[in-house]
């Protein structure tokens, strides 16, 4: 998966249109895009959409962002959607791996009650939305067999710490958010799951979005969240390995073979280069390319 598109869970029209967005996955949102008074109706609409769509051929993956554990809304969210077999749950404002374990227990109970096979729904925490959460990014390793990825958030983090903005005058993240992004990447790597980059909020700025995506790919992220359907094509394009990158990776794998060291164009390569090349080729295959 390369692209995860947020869709308000209380809008049947937007939910239906999102199926044609080209996103690899949809995040049906019961949290920030839904007012408190509308949450019961959003659960009903989202559950109905899942029931109608989950069995469709060639559909995107379907995830649901539930409300945070400290809101008192999580159980109602989980109970409403798990019977309709979403591919996973996005868990916002997690403080540590123990929060994922707590969500796992709730989902396990809901699956058992609904007669859904145990472990069907995966979990992706949004792991940097509070200042305290930055100190626990190493705790996600081994926290739950449902853990599928880790992502991060800059908007809620800036609100939590009281920042005026999370970017400088040049449009670059300031230090705290660069740290959050780096720790998320390290935490996902330590847990051996997908690192997923956060949203780019200026959805009319395709140049900025592309630069943001390219920086994420450069550093090791494999996917990115989107807040608008217009962002999906750019995200998919940047997170799909180019023919040149694929050819280079194939050359590295071929040159090294079973040896521990080799060379290409006079440059030494070894096992780290091979692992990096193999991961790029795996991303290409996941994007549907023949490599």
- Please give the pLDDT value at position 274: 82
Query: Do 216 and 274 share a domain, yes or no?
Result: no
Query: Do 105 and 176 share a domain, yes or no?
Result: yes
Query: Do 114 and 154 share a domain, yes or no?
Result: yes
* Residue numbers of the domain that contains 261: 243-286
Query: Do 37 and 137 share a domain, yes or no?
Result: yes
- Output the DSSP codes for 10-55: T-HHHHHHHTTS--SEEEEESSTTS-GGGHHHHHHHHHHHHHHHTT
Q: How far apart are CA 88 and CA 122, in angstroms?
A: 4
Query: Do 81 and 207 share a domain, yes or no?
Result: yes
Query: Do 173 and 135 share a domain, yes or no?
Result: yes
Query: Do 193 and 251 share a domain, yes or no?
Result: no
Token duo for residue 130: 């509070």
Contact at 8 Å (CB) between 159 and 165?
no
pTM: 0.92
Token duo for residue 279: 């991961």
- Count of structural domains within the chain: 2
Query: Do 146 and 215 share a domain, yes or no?
Result: yes
- Please give the pLDDT value at position 271: 78
Token duo for residue 109: 């109970």
- Please give the pLDDT value at position 47: 98
- Please give the pLDDT value at position 272: 81
Query: Do 161 and 263 share a domain, yes or no?
Result: no
Query: Do 90 and 143 share a domain, yes or no?
Result: yes
Sign for the CA dihedral angle at 123, 183, 154, 163 comes to positive
Tens of pLDDT, residues 185-199: 999 999 999 999 999
CATH number at residue 178: 3.20.20.60
Please identify every stretch of the chain with a pLDDT value under 70, giving residue numbers as ranges: 257, 259
- Please give the pLDDT value at position 287: 82
Query: Do 142 and 259 share a domain, yes or no?
Result: no
- Please give the pLDDT value at position 26: 98
Residues 6+ apart with CB under 8 A from 190: 137, 138, 140, 141
Contact at 8 Å (CB) between 187 and 138?
yes
- Please give the pLDDT value at position 289: 85
């Amino acid at each position: 998966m390369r692209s995860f598109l947020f869709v308000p869970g209380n809008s049947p029209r937007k939910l239906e249109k999102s199926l044609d967005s080209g996103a690899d996955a949809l995040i049906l949102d019961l949290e920030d895009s839904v007012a408190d008074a509308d949450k019961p109706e959003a659960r009903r609409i989202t559950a109905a959409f899942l029931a109608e769509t989950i069995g469709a051929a060639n559909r995107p993956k379907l995830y649901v962002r539930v409300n945070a554990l400290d809101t008192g809304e999580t159980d109602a969210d989980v109970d409403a959607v798990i019977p309709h077999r979403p591919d996973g749950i996005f868990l916002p404002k997690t403080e540590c791996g123990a929060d994922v374990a707590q969500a796992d227990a709730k989902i396990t109970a809901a699956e058992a009650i609904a007669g859904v096979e145990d472990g069907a729904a995966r979990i992706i925490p949004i792991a940097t939305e509070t200042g305290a959460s930055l100190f626990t990014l190493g705790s996600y390793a081994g926290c739950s067999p449902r853990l599928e990825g880790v992502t991060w958030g800059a908007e809620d983090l800036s609100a939590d710490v009281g920042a005026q903005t999370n970017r400088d005058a040049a449009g670059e993240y300031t230090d705290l958010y660069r740290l959050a992004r780096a720790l998320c990447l390290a935490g996902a790597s330590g847990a051996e799951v997908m690192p997923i980059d956060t949203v780019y909020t200026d959805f009319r700025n395709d140049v900025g979005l592309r630069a943001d995506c390219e920086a994420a790919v450069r550093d090791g992220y494999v996917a990115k969240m989107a807040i608008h359907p217009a962002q999906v094509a750019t995200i998919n394009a940047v997170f799909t390995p180019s023919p040149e990158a694929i050819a280079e990776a194939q050359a590295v794998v071929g040159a090294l073979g079973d040896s521990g060291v080799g060379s290409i164009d006079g440059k030494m390569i070894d096992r780290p280069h091979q692992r990096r090349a193999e991961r790029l080729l795996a991303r290409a295959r996941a994007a549907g390319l023949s490599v």
